[in-house]
Amino acid sequence: MQAYILITAEAGRAKEAAAAINGLENVKSAHTTVGPYDIIAFVEVSDADALTNLILDKIQKIDGISRTLTCIAVS
């Protein structure tokens, strides 16, 4: 299962948050962006439970992360 996670970071925290996200298992890439979201991460996990755990237990607990929106890839 693959997904894109659109992330809002606190002001001035996007670069350090993206670096922390890049260090997580199952994260293929995380880039800071210009636009409505500060970081876009691409992840690849085994199933929906693994995706939920990655987002709730790891990504959302990184200092500087305010909000996430997950888009599951279907093709």
* Model confidence, pTM: 0.93
Alpha carbon distance 56, 68 (integer Å):
10
- For residue 75, pLDDT over 90 is answered with no
User: What is the average pLDDT across 51-62?
Assistant: 98
Phi-psi region of 40 (alpha: psi -120 to 50; beta: other; left: phi over 0): beta
| Rounded-to-integer distance, Cα 67 and Cα 60, Å | 7
| pLDDT top residue among 75 and 59 | 59
Tell how far CA 14 is from the center of its chain: 11
pLDDT tens digits for range 15-37: 999 999 999 999 999 999 999 99
Average pLDDT over residues 39-51: 98
**Domains of the chain: which residue ranges?**
2-72
> Domain 2-72 has what CATH class?
alpha beta
